[in-house]
Protein backbone atom coordinates (compact mmCIF):
# COMPACT_ATOMS: atom_id res chain seq x y z
CA UNK A 1 0.00 0.00 0.00
CA UNK A 2 1.35 3.41 -0.97
CA UNK A 3 1.58 5.92 1.85
CA UNK A 4 0.44 9.50 1.30
CA UNK A 5 1.94 12.64 2.75
CA UNK A 6 -0.68 14.60 4.67
CA UNK A 7 -0.92 18.38 4.95
CA UNK A 8 -1.54 20.01 8.30
CA UNK A 9 -2.02 23.65 9.21
CA UNK A 10 -0.59 24.98 12.48
CA UNK A 11 -1.95 28.32 13.71
CA UNK A 12 0.19 30.63 15.80
CA UNK A 13 -2.32 32.97 17.43
CA UNK A 14 -0.18 35.90 18.52
CA UNK A 15 -1.04 38.28 21.34
CA UNK A 16 1.95 40.44 22.19
CA UNK A 17 4.87 38.03 22.49
CA UNK A 18 2.64 35.11 23.48
CA UNK A 19 1.10 32.28 21.48
CA UNK A 20 -1.68 29.85 22.32
CA UNK A 21 -0.65 26.23 22.90
CA UNK A 22 -2.55 23.16 24.02
CA UNK A 23 -1.33 19.88 25.47
CA UNK A 24 -2.23 17.13 22.98
CA UNK A 25 -3.99 13.93 23.92
CA UNK A 26 -5.39 10.91 22.18
CA UNK A 27 -3.45 10.92 18.91
CA UNK A 28 0.20 10.92 17.91
CA UNK A 29 2.11 13.47 19.95
CA UNK A 30 0.05 12.94 23.12
CA UNK A 31 1.56 14.86 26.02
CA UNK A 32 3.27 17.44 23.80
CA UNK A 33 2.44 21.13 23.36
CA UNK A 34 1.08 22.36 20.03
CA UNK A 35 -0.80 25.31 18.58
CA UNK A 36 -4.34 24.82 17.29
CA UNK A 37 -4.59 23.34 13.83
CA UNK A 38 -5.38 20.25 11.85
CA UNK A 39 -5.71 18.66 8.45
CA UNK A 40 -6.22 20.69 5.30
CA UNK A 41 -9.44 19.52 3.65
CA UNK A 42 -9.72 18.97 -0.09
CA UNK A 43 -10.44 22.28 -1.86
CA UNK A 44 -9.91 24.34 1.31
CA UNK A 45 -7.56 27.32 1.44
CA UNK A 46 -4.88 27.40 4.10
CA UNK A 47 -6.52 30.47 5.65
CA UNK A 48 -9.98 28.86 5.71
CA UNK A 49 -8.51 25.75 7.32
CA UNK A 50 -6.83 27.91 9.97
CA UNK A 51 -10.09 29.77 10.74
CA UNK A 52 -12.10 26.52 10.89
CA UNK A 53 -9.68 24.58 13.06
CA UNK A 54 -9.15 27.42 15.56
CA UNK A 55 -12.90 28.00 15.90
CA UNK A 56 -13.61 24.25 16.29
CA UNK A 57 -10.85 23.72 18.85
CA UNK A 58 -10.86 26.97 20.86
CA UNK A 59 -13.91 29.08 19.98
CA UNK A 60 -11.60 31.94 19.00
CA UNK A 61 -12.26 33.91 15.80
CA UNK A 62 -9.04 34.78 13.97
CA UNK A 63 -8.29 37.45 11.38
CA UNK A 64 -5.17 38.94 9.77
CA UNK A 65 -3.81 35.52 8.83
CA UNK A 66 -0.31 35.52 7.36
CA UNK A 67 1.34 32.49 5.79
CA UNK A 68 4.56 31.42 7.45
CA UNK A 69 7.12 28.64 7.11
CA UNK A 70 6.46 24.93 6.82
CA UNK A 71 7.94 21.83 8.41
CA UNK A 72 8.04 18.21 7.34
CA UNK A 73 7.91 15.44 9.93
CA UNK A 74 7.66 11.66 9.83
CA UNK A 75 5.92 9.89 12.72
CA UNK A 76 7.12 6.27 12.41
CA UNK A 77 5.12 5.14 15.47
CA UNK A 78 1.88 5.81 13.54
CA UNK A 79 3.33 5.42 10.02
CA UNK A 80 2.44 8.99 9.01
CA UNK A 81 4.26 11.83 7.26
CA UNK A 82 3.03 15.41 7.61
CA UNK A 83 3.94 18.66 5.95
CA UNK A 84 2.72 21.35 8.34
CA UNK A 85 2.03 24.80 6.94
CA UNK A 86 2.26 27.38 9.71
CA UNK A 87 0.31 30.63 9.72
CA UNK A 88 0.20 33.51 12.17
CA UNK A 89 -2.95 35.31 13.25
CA UNK A 90 -2.32 38.64 14.94
CA UNK A 91 -5.96 39.69 15.27
CA UNK A 92 -8.20 37.41 17.28
CA UNK A 93 -11.41 37.67 19.26
CA UNK A 94 -12.30 35.73 22.39
CA UNK A 95 -10.57 33.65 25.01
CA UNK A 96 -9.77 29.97 24.45
CA UNK A 97 -12.34 27.39 25.46
CA UNK A 98 -11.60 23.67 25.57
CA UNK A 99 -14.00 22.40 22.88
CA UNK A 100 -12.33 19.05 22.10
CA UNK A 101 -11.38 17.54 25.48
CA UNK A 102 -10.62 14.13 23.93
CA UNK A 103 -7.85 15.79 21.87
CA UNK A 104 -6.48 18.45 24.22
CA UNK A 105 -5.97 18.88 27.97
CA UNK A 106 -6.42 22.66 27.81
CA UNK A 107 -5.21 25.89 26.22
CA UNK A 108 -2.61 28.25 27.69
CA UNK A 109 -0.85 31.41 26.51
CA UNK A 110 2.95 31.04 26.46
CA UNK A 111 5.76 33.49 25.81
CA UNK A 112 7.55 32.72 22.55
CA UNK A 113 10.83 33.01 24.49
CA UNK A 114 9.73 30.47 27.16
CA UNK A 115 7.84 27.73 25.35
CA UNK A 116 6.85 24.64 27.37
CA UNK A 117 8.33 21.22 26.73
CA UNK A 118 7.99 18.80 25.18
CA UNK A 119 6.80 20.49 21.99
CA UNK A 120 4.85 18.61 19.30
CA UNK A 121 7.37 17.61 16.64
CA UNK A 122 6.23 20.10 13.94
CA UNK A 123 6.38 22.94 16.49
CA UNK A 124 9.78 21.72 17.67
CA UNK A 125 11.00 21.67 14.05
CA UNK A 126 9.69 25.21 13.55
CA UNK A 127 11.64 26.44 16.57
CA UNK A 128 14.80 24.59 15.46
CA UNK A 129 14.54 26.31 12.06
CA UNK A 130 15.23 29.65 13.74
CA UNK A 131 11.76 31.07 13.08
CA UNK A 132 10.76 33.88 15.43
CA UNK A 133 7.57 35.88 15.78
CA UNK A 134 9.45 38.94 14.53
CA UNK A 135 9.87 37.18 11.14
CA UNK A 136 6.15 36.94 10.50
Residues 6+ apart with CB under 8 A from 41: 49
pLDDT band at 133 (very low <50, low <70, confident <90, very high): confident
- pLDDT tens per residue, range 66-105: 999 999 999 988 888 999 999 999 999 999 999 999 999 9
- pLDDT tens per residue, range 15-68: 999 999 999 998 789 999 999 999 999 999 999 999 999 999 999 999 999 999
Report the distance separating Cα 46 and Cα 65, nearest Å.
9
Report the distance separating Cα 97 and Cα 70, nearest Å.
27
Report the distance separating Cα 31 and Cα 96, nearest Å.
19
Report the distance separating Cα 21 and Cα 23, nearest Å.
7
Peptide bond into 80 cis (omega under 30): no
Q: What is the pTM of this model?
A: 0.95
Amino acid sequence: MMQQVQVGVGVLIVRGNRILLGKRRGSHGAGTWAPPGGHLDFGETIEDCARREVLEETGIVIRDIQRGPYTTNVFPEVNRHFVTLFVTATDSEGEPTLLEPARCDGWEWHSWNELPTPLFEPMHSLCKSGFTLEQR
